[in-house]
Chain A
Amino acid sequence: MNPLRWAVEALGADYAQWRTLSRVLLKSDFRSSSAMQMSGSSGRSRASVPWPTLLVYLAYGTFLALVPAAVPGGYLSASIVLLVVSMMVAMAILIDFQSVVVSPNDYEILAHQPVSSRTYFLVKVTSILLYTGIIGALMGGFATIAFLWKFGPLVALGWLAALAGTVVWTTLAMVFLYSLILRMVSPRRLRRALGYLQLAMMLVIFVPIMLDDTMQGLLTNMTEPPSAMLALPSTWFANTLPLAAGTWSVTGTLVALLAFASIAVMFHYVARRLSLSYAERLGALLAASRPARARAGSDGFGSRWFSSELRVVSTLVRGQFRNDMNFRLGVLSILPITLLYVFMSLDDGGLPDPFVHLGGEARGLGLIHFVVLAMPAILMEHIFRSESYRAAWIFFSTPVDRARLVGNVGNSVTIFFLLPYLAMLAGVFVWAFGDLWHAVTHAAVLGMVSHLAIQMLLLAVPRLPFAQPVRKGARIGAFMGTVLLAFLAIALLPVMLLVYASTSWTAAALAALAGAAVLAPRIVTRRIRGRVDRLEFTG
């Protein structure tokens, strides 16, 4: 008997249906479709691979391959790489794949077909495991070569087992959490509950980074993972490396065995227990999402101050946040990171005043700079993609200036996300620097640089709001790509901040940035007009 068939049937699912649906969902995910295309372009491809996302993962994988090469012990280096991989897998699920478990969209298509809850659930789990498996392979693949080169083939095999174990464990743990909340919380409260879960999970994922000064000391002072890391599942799986190298201990071997056993227990519980009521809960969720409650009051806020295009974008963003669970969860997954980074910067010896600690001495501000530069761009990725992308027909059938509409996506992010965040940041700076002028000036400089970065992004890839279909992996790919670019910017920013050396330079820089910040949206709108006008609706 086919072992796969045996495994699927042992879990109570229908093998033929599982195979059919798994194939269909994969085909659906890998084929691109869009609500718009350039006029005159040769139509859409039947299948498309998300190369940018894959390349970003490969870039991280290349970087991670340096860890085993640089860190003395195999166990320690594997613990570090596996920790990063597990964090990325968890983040990918939080940002991109949580909808695979909790969204009733597929269920609406399949609910009346004779597919059991278990089969349907197993299809979903298979789909997520496949994606996280690809992420794990891309991020840990090069490290395999490094382990092979440095420690030999047995350790490399041990590494592969640890990598697979970590990826599967992390995925199942996330699926377990989402399924549990789907089962325990009433559908009417689910949206709010998922929001809290998203915030809490983001905090949990970043806790390892916050552990003491652990991460900083790893590369230089240690040969074994510090005690704080022993609690992490990724470190449990890293115990397979000493086992493979023949330098095993009873405790380490037991921990490794228990780690793999915990996968079996978790899978059994998820597939046998949680899957039973899964379809029923999705049905309830589908029903609960039906009647939309009218909200009192007008949405015509700021009509005196804002252009009609900005009001359109802002109304869309607020409406999507209120009613589109996936958009809401995506945005909510970003916010805790920003607050965490501020906290981590404060925890890491305080914030240096860049007017006093010029250039490289202001390194302590790096995480804050990262948040200000990267997060608006990540937020924009959420604004461009939506399940209801077909509603973009409205931009094509009304006399709206589409170029101005695209430009105002950036303005809405600046006004409604960046400015409140900078106001909060200015308060933190006042407290940390003890100088109001320094604090406000630095917050203003960061805000204007970030605003310019947003405009550059729009210039590079002009897109209409909520007009592209959600593609699995696209958001986390954009997230990680932005993180890479933001790191480059962070490296350059201290050099730019040398303008703080004299008042006249600072004033000149502020004036230049302010001028650029005002002119940029107009220039961008003009430059993208041709490209945006050539877009055609094909949804």
Chain B
Amino acid sequence: MIETQTLTRRFGELVAVEDLDLRVEPGEILGFLGPNGAGKSTTVKILTCMIKPSSGSAWVAGFDVEHEPMEVKRRLGYVPEAGALYEALSAREYLTMVANLRGIEGGYADRKISELLDLFGMLEALDKPLSEHSKGMKQKVLISAALIGNPEVLFLDEPLNGIDANAALVVKELLRELASQGRTILFCSHILEVVERICTRIVIIDRGRKVADGTAAGIAAETGTDSLERAFAHLTGVRDAAEVTRGLLSALGGSEPGP
């Protein structure tokens, strides 16, 4: 379970997350949406104990993120938005490291690593340095790393970034299956179709504040729109797309391509 109460995070004068109340039950896949800079990644960083909240409280799997971070970290899996990895290591070495840090050692760890990478069709690249992997392959390694400890709670920040359609299909199916087994999943993405398809509930935040909470259809109905995409634009105050496009073309200096 994930729960926050009046969670707030300030960076100097900037309020990245403000009075956020959130509750995600076991078995739920929560789509956590918002425009760039809305505070999604900051919220996830607080929930994964990477940074501390300025005020308010948060619990993951029943443990306080501020006061019991080690208990929280033992129970979570996290796919970060900007996939930071030790790129000089191979996928096998990186995943072995993550497994060992989670107390999974020896043959059992090796088997799990092989199984996970086999699912993603990456067995052949197992011993290549991560620096030689494509963005999508690195993402698969990060997803495998998040799953290796068999976590109770999963935080996925743009997990499908760069991965191919087949792997994306596997990940989506896997998330549904994990949720049905009682795991709690928080899923951040800008791809609204994916969120709509796999998430059981959606929360939209804008400028650090929660502006919507419900199912895709419910949010659309509440905003008097006919789709999640339009509801999102309505709630996050996006300018008229056609007007923005005209402005961009004008900034390019005309309709003809340059030399």
Q: Which residues of A contact B (CB under 8 A)?
A: 16-17, 20-21, 24, 27-29, 31-33, 44, 46, 105, 108-116, 188, 280, 283-284, 286-288, 290-291, 538-539
- A198 CB to nearest B CB, Å: 24
Majority-rule SS of B interface residues: mixed
Give the CA-CA distance A143 to B177 in the complex, in Å. Answer: 66
Residue of B nearest to A291 (CB): B11
A-contacting residues, B15-63, CB 8 Å: 16, 42, 45, 48-52
Interface residue stretch chosen among B84-92, B114-122, B167-175: B84-92
Give the CA-CA distance A24 to B102 in the complex, in Å. Answer: 15
Residue of A nearest to B79 (CB): A112
Contact between A28 and B86, CB atoms less than 8 A apart = yes
Contact between A28 and B73, CB atoms less than 8 A apart = no
Contact between B85 and A27, CB atoms less than 8 A apart = no
In the complex, 11 of the A-B residue pairs with CB atoms within 8 angstroms, ordered by the A residue number, are: A16-B105, A44-B131, A108-B80, A109-B86, A111-B48, A111-B50, A112-B76, A286-B51, A287-B52, A291-B12, A291-B16
Contact between A46 and B129, CB atoms less than 8 A apart = yes
Write out the residue numbers on chain A whose beta carbons fall within 8 Å of the beta carbon of B51: 283-284, 286-287
Interface residue stretch chosen among B93-101, B179-187, B192-200: B93-101
- A399 CB to nearest B CB, Å: 10
Write out the residue numbers on chain A whose beta carbons fall within 8 Å of the beta carbon of B101: 17, 20-21, 110, 113-115
Give the CA-CA distance A539 to B16 in the complex, in Å. Answer: 32
Give the CA-CA distance A33 to B84 in the complex, in Å. Answer: 15
Most buried by A among B50, B70, B73, B76: B50
Contact between B93 and A111, CB atoms less than 8 A apart = no
User: Contacts A33-B88, A44-B129 given; 14 further ones with Cβ under 8 A?
Assistant: A21-B101, A24-B97, A29-B88, A31-B89, A108-B50, A109-B86, A111-B49, A111-B50, A113-B102, A114-B70, A287-B51, A287-B52, A288-B11, A539-B131
- B151 CB to nearest A CB, Å: 10
Contact between B93 and A188, CB atoms less than 8 A apart = no
**CB of B232 within 8 A of chain A?**
no
Write out the residue numbers on chain B whose beta carbons fall within 8 Å of the beta carbon of A46: 129
- A25 CB to nearest B CB, Å: 8
Contact between B88 and A113, CB atoms less than 8 A apart = no
Residue of A nearest to B98 (CB): A113
Contact between A24 and B129, CB atoms less than 8 A apart = no
Write out the residue numbers on chain B whose beta carbons fall within 8 Å of the beta carbon of A288: 11
- A155 CB to nearest B CB, Å: 42
Total B residues in contact with A, Cβ cutoff 8 Å: 35
Give the CA-CA distance A24 to B97 in the complex, in Å. Answer: 7
**CB of B14 within 8 A of chain A?**
yes
Majority-rule SS of A interface residues: helix
Write out the residue numbers on chain B whose beta carbons fall within 8 Å of the beta carbon of A44: 129, 131
- In the complex where A31-B129, A284-B51 touch, is A16 in contact with B100 (Cβ < 8 A)? yes
Give the CA-CA distance A538 to B133 in the complex, in Å. Answer: 10
Residue of B nearest to A32 (CB): B88
Contact between B89 and A109, CB atoms less than 8 A apart = no
Contact between A24 and B89, CB atoms less than 8 A apart = yes
- B167 CB to nearest A CB, Å: 22
Count A-B pairs with CB separation below 8 Å.
88
- In the complex where A109-B86, A113-B101 touch, is A287 in contact with B11 (Cβ < 8 A)? yes
**CB of B162 within 8 A of chain A?**
no
Give the CA-CA distance A27 to B98 in the complex, in Å. Answer: 15
Q: Top 8 nearest A-B pairs by Cβ distance? A: A31-B88, A114-B73, A111-B50, A20-B100, A112-B48, A287-B51, A112-B78, A33-B131
- In the complex where A27-B89, A109-B85, A111-B48 touch, is A291 in contact with B14 (Cβ < 8 A)? yes
- A285 CB to nearest B CB, Å: 10
**CB of B74 within 8 A of chain A?**
yes
- B49 CB to nearest A CB, Å: 7
Give the CA-CA distance A105 to B131 in the complex, in Å. Answer: 16
**CB of B224 within 8 A of chain A?**
no
Write out the residue numbers on chain A whose beta carbons fall within 8 Å of the beta carbon of B49: 111-112, 283
Contact between A283 and B11, CB atoms less than 8 A apart = no
Contact between B11 and A290, CB atoms less than 8 A apart = yes
Write out the residue numbers on chain A whose beta carbons fall within 8 Å of the beta carbon of B45: 287
Give the CA-CA distance A24 to B93 in the complex, in Å. Answer: 8
Give the CA-CA distance A20 to B73 in the complex, in Å. Answer: 18
Most buried by B among A116, A284, A290: A290
Give the CA-CA distance A280 to B51 in the complex, in Å. Answer: 8
Write out the residue numbers on chain B whose beta carbons fall within 8 Å of the beta carbon of A116: 70
- In the complex where A188-B12, A283-B52 touch, is A28 in contact with B88 (Cβ < 8 A)? yes
Write out the residue numbers on chain B whose beta carbons fall within 8 Å of the beta carbon of A105: 84
Give the CA-CA distance A291 to B36 in the complex, in Å. Answer: 13
Write out the residue numbers on chain A whose beta carbons fall within 8 Å of the beta carbon of B80: 108, 112
Write out the residue numbers on chain A whose beta carbons fall within 8 Å of the beta carbon of B52: 280, 283-284, 287
Given A32, A109, A284, which contacts B84 in the complex, CB threshold below 8 Å? A109
Contact between A24 and B86, CB atoms less than 8 A apart = yes
- In the complex where A17-B100, A112-B73, A114-B101 touch, is A286 in contact with B88 (Cβ < 8 A)? no
Write out the residue numbers on chain A whose beta carbons fall within 8 Å of the beta carbon of B84: 105, 108-109
Give the CA-CA distance A20 to B42 in the complex, in Å. Answer: 29
Give the CA-CA distance A24 to B49 in the complex, in Å. Answer: 22
Most buried by A among B45, B51, B102: B51
Write out the residue numbers on chain B whose beta carbons fall within 8 Å of the beta carbon of A33: 87-88, 129, 131
Contact between B93 and A112, CB atoms less than 8 A apart = no
Residue of B nearest to A30 (CB): B88
- B131 CB to nearest A CB, Å: 4
